[in-house]
Structure 1
Amino acid sequence: MELFSEDDINFILEQCTKSKSLNWHITEYSNTLVGYLGEHLSLIVDTDIGRNFFFVKCVPRFDQWKANYLRETSFFDKEYIMLSTLFKKFRDNDGLRIWRPKLLYIRKDLFVFEDVTQLDYTMPSNTSTLSYDEIMATVASLARFHAQSYIHEEEQSMLLCRPYSLWDDYAEYLSEPAKGVAWRETGMRAAIDFLKVYSEFRSKNDFVKLIEDRIPELFSIADDLMKPSTKYRNAVVHRDVWSNNIFFKKLENGNTHALIVDYQTVLYCVPTIDLSSMIYFNTTKKFRLENTNRMIDYYYEVLSDELELENIDKTSIINKCDFVKSYTESLVFAMTQAALIVPIIAMSADKRKEVFENPEICAKINEVSRSQEFIEIAKESKTYRIRVIELLDDLVETFLINNKQ
């Protein structure tokens, strides 16, 4: 069965060009693993005025385990609802205020976007952390994305003459799926086992008991942070802003612009969990020590600018002091989430393909155990070991040894 009909192709072309289709075909988007669950393809359409490229994300056609997992976790449904309904009510902005690629065609099992690589955007390497310019560009795009939640809620509140929350209409799609619990518990156990082998603190008295007792408590606190807050203003958050979900373009003036993709893990909660987790996914401890205050200030500045363009008082959403408090409170989510994500994203391209393109191994590390796999990769790769243990030891030092929670 063909993925597209001729009518589909003509509809896609109508969104971006006045040309007519002559012929079209699909290929693999990349010979490296782009994402872990969806299938990623390139749609190439030859027209009467030239060749057009589009990016296609669909439910896996040939990997039954991944297809079933996507359906069971509702991840694809989440993104479908966001793209087809809520995000259509958000402003995409113009010029450098754009925060995501243009959506050109959508149905429940398939999305078609502009291929931003044709606009000179590139995806960074997953095995490296991001540069200062890349991080600050991502901070700006995150702030613009979050601002859209506030803008839409303020507009709806005025229209309805009552306070409106996105949770009212989208709670089902902005919650953590029950199926995700096993994935988190498996990742937490892998982090604990990794620390037993590689932590610089492992010789301390009662270290094993400390991490066995306290790390599950930290993950429980993090779970609560994924729910709507009663203390701070909530927004739709991405929750998974790491290198494979960001595209960068170097501008003529030397600045960097970022686009954020893949909204299948969205939640409705405090937006600082997005900012803090993005920072911990993509930076070193040294970078965070030197630049965290700059990143917080820049996020709040861009958010304020976006709100002021819509005549919304930023302090009616959150004042700077409370924003900083919220960021600090979100660190337990950021560091525990990074403990789940970084051991996966820091793998080499070959190792990622070996693990995630084998249905049996993929199923095991998602829901049974991934401890031995991560420990073995660390034995083989010093770079991997250093990046992962730096992050995990930062968690231990911050919350267990210095006892900040």
Structure 2
Amino acid sequence: MVGQNVPQLRLEDILTTKQVDKIINKLLNSGQEWSVVSSDVRQAADGLTGFLADHLRVTMHLKSGDQEETIRLFLKRLPVNNQPKADFISSSNYFKREKFGCRLLDEIRVMNDPHPWCPQPLVYSDTLIVMDDLSPLGYTVRPQLDTLDLPHALATVSSIARFHAATSNYETRKRFTDDKAWTFAKEYPQVCDEPTYKDSPWLRCAAKLTYNFLKIFSKKYNSIPNLESLLLKRYVEACNSLQEYEGTLNTLIHKDLWMSNIMFRYEKGAPVNAVIIDYQLLRYGPPAFDLNVFLYLTTTRQFREQYEKKVLSYYFSEFIRSLENTTKERLEILGYDEAEFLRWCEKSRLFGAMMAITNFPYVLMDAKTAQKAFDDPETYEKYRDVDRTEPVVAFCYKNDVYRDRQIEISEEFVERFVENPLFV
């Protein structure tokens, strides 16, 4: 849903003339001289649509002689009304990470692809990301509390597979032309530097919240001794498990595949394509980590128990189908086949569950409530690094689905990774 006009914000307040010209040339590619006759700047939604940027939609009406065109853009920029948040984003290099990602997407995306897996990057800097707005092409995001059925899950893993294949092919070509030992990690070490998902105040605050949440809402796991410290230990282990591994396939992974970072296009009510957006959390490691992040953030436990094998098998077939022959040869040398991929899916399950349990309090909350709870400069640092229990529990009493989704993942996490030694 498009939000209200941003007060007193004009096109020239967010984009330079040079950036506007670059966007027009990239999107129209006509060689003509276009002038902007009018423009409109709006919030992307009424409330908080993401947690690491301000989000805007821009419409530019252009004219060249008798011809007219309209361009629609989606923008992310450093927050302007929450300085502690802006400082945190800058110190964590989230925009620098996405700038690298956009530069890469510009190289590896397929031009004029009828089924793209990513949007077209237009402008990318340390403080601003501009993408083509896919909404006019029929792409939409699902409501944040929705869970995906099988058709939506298969459409998404097809795009995840093509993303992983494109970065794997890119790395293979680099090894042939530049350096046999070339990797993304060596060339771009920032994609291996983890600012948040480590033994940090943010993670400790997450363990405190889960402990308090289970104490209040769980009938199964509300009295385990030392539960908060046990949760933190497993969270840290999960974070440490995402790294580059020798002797297997490593790719760039998205690591943030929640509902609002996936856009679907439909034909006759059925999803025919999924586009992955927002590359601020890029990392480098075995691709199975992305699959577990996606499954735990967007599906129910019942769905995973019923369809997980089918979804993973479909992903792997799409991944292999999208590889160049030289990359297939590299995988053969590594011994990376479907059995090896599935083995990594089990090894990365802890990470996927941790991502869901630590992010659900944020990403399942509606945009207006999330903005009020988590985007107030007065309480931002407290809820980020000390204790975020209060706004989460308050909303649980207002929204049963929000509460029940968190009960399910919290109890599954304790069952699998804390209480049952078979899963440790």
User: For 1:195-224, what per-residue CA distance to the aligned partner results, in whole angstroms no more than 9, with x for missing partners?
Assistant: 122223236xxx421523432221122122
Could you say which residue in structure 2 is the equivalent of 1:399? Answer: 417
Contact 1:103 1:112 in 2 (8 A): yes
Between the aligned partners of 2:221 and 2:186, the Cα distance in structure 1 is: 47
Q: Secondary structure at the match of 1:307?
A: coil
Could you say which residue in structure 2 is the equivalent of 1:345? Answer: 363
Contact 1:92 1:100 in 2 (8 A): no
Matched, 1:261 2:280: no
How far does residue 325 in structure 1 lie from its aligned partner after superposition? Answer: 0.5
Matched, 1:154 2:172: yes
Matched, 1:189 2:208: yes
Counterparts of residues 103-114 of structure 1 (less than 5 Å):
103-114=121-132
Q: Secondary structure at the match of 1:385?
A: helix
Kindly provide the amino acid, as one letter, of the partner of residue 413 in structure 2: L
User: For 1:165-221, what per-residue CA distance to the aligned partner results, in whole angstroms no more than 9, with x for missing partners?
Assistant: 111111123320269622222112211221122223236xxx421523432221122
Q: Secondary structure at the match of 1:375?
A: helix
How far does residue 229 in structure 1 lie from its aligned partner after superposition? Answer: 1.8
How far does residue 402 in structure 1 lie from its aligned partner after superposition? Answer: 2.8
Larger helix fraction of residues: 1
Could you say which residue in structure 1 is the equivalent of 2:220? Answer: 201
Kindly provide the amino acid, as one letter, of the partner of residue 4 in structure 1: L
Kindly provide the amino acid, as one letter, of the partner of residue 367 in structure 2: A
Between the aligned partners of 1:52 and 1:36, the Cα distance in structure 2 is: 26
Q: State how many pairs are aligned.
A: 401
Q: Secondary structure at the match of 1:275?
A: helix
How far does residue 253 in structure 1 lie from its aligned partner after superposition? Answer: 9.0
Between the aligned partners of 1:158 and 1:7, the Cα distance in structure 2 is: 36
Matched, 1:43 2:43: no
Could you say which residue in structure 2 is the equivalent of 1:5? Answer: 16
Counterparts of residues 101-180 of structure 1 (less than 5 Å):
101-160=119-178, 162-177=180-195
Task: Provide the alpha-carbon RMSD of the alignment.
Answer: 2.2
Gaps of 5+ in 1: none
How far does residue 336 in structure 1 lie from its aligned partner after superposition? Answer: 1.2
Could you say which residue in structure 1 is the equivalent of 2:95? Answer: 76
Kindly provide the amino acid, as one letter, of the partner of residue 234 in structure 1: N
TM-score normalised per structure 1: 0.92
Match of 1:215 among 226, 231, 242: 231
User: For 1:142-161, what per-residue CA distance to the aligned partner results, in whole angstroms no more than 9, with x for missing partners?
Assistant: 11111122111111111135
Counterparts of residues 374-389 of structure 1 (less than 5 Å):
374-389=392-407
User: For 1:102-135, what per-residue CA distance to the aligned partner results, in whole angstroms no more than 9, with x for missing partners?
Assistant: 0122333212111100110001100221232222
Q: Kindly, what percent of the aligned residue pairs are identical?
A: 24
Could you say which residue in structure 2 is the equivalent of 1:225? Answer: 241
Kindly provide the amino acid, as one letter, of the partner of residue 331 in structure 1: R
Between the aligned partners of 1:381 and 1:311, the Cα distance in structure 2 is: 48
Match of 1:250 among 261, 266, 277: 266
Matched, 1:332 2:350: yes
How far does residue 96 in structure 1 lie from its aligned partner after superposition? Answer: 4.6
How far does residue 226 in structure 1 lie from its aligned partner after superposition? Answer: 2.1
Matched, 1:88 2:106: yes
Gaps of 5+ in 2: 1-11
Could you say which residue in structure 1 is the equivalent of 2:7? Answer: none
Structure 1 residues 64, 309: CA separation in 2 closer, same or farther (over 3 Å shift)?
same
Structure 1 residues 30, 349: CA separation in 2 closer, same or farther (over 3 Å shift)?
closer
Contact 2:58 2:74 in 1 (8 A): yes
TM-score normalised per structure 2: 0.88
Structure 1 residues 218, 151: CA separation in 2 closer, same or farther (over 3 Å shift)?
same
Between the aligned partners of 2:196 and 2:213, the Cα distance in structure 1 is: 26
Between the aligned partners of 2:274 and 2:360, the Cα distance in structure 1 is: 21
How far does residue 50 in structure 1 lie from its aligned partner after superposition? Answer: 3.1
Kindly provide the amino acid, as one letter, of the partner of residue 401 in structure 2: T
How far does residue 316 in structure 1 lie from its aligned partner after superposition? Answer: 4.3
Matched, 1:297 2:323: no
Contact 1:174 1:236 in 2 (8 A): no
Could you say which residue in structure 1 is the equivalent of 2:340? Answer: 322
Contact 1:65 1:359 in 2 (8 A): yes
Between the aligned partners of 1:188 and 1:92, the Cα distance in structure 2 is: 41
Kindly provide the amino acid, as one letter, of the partner of residue 349 in structure 1: A
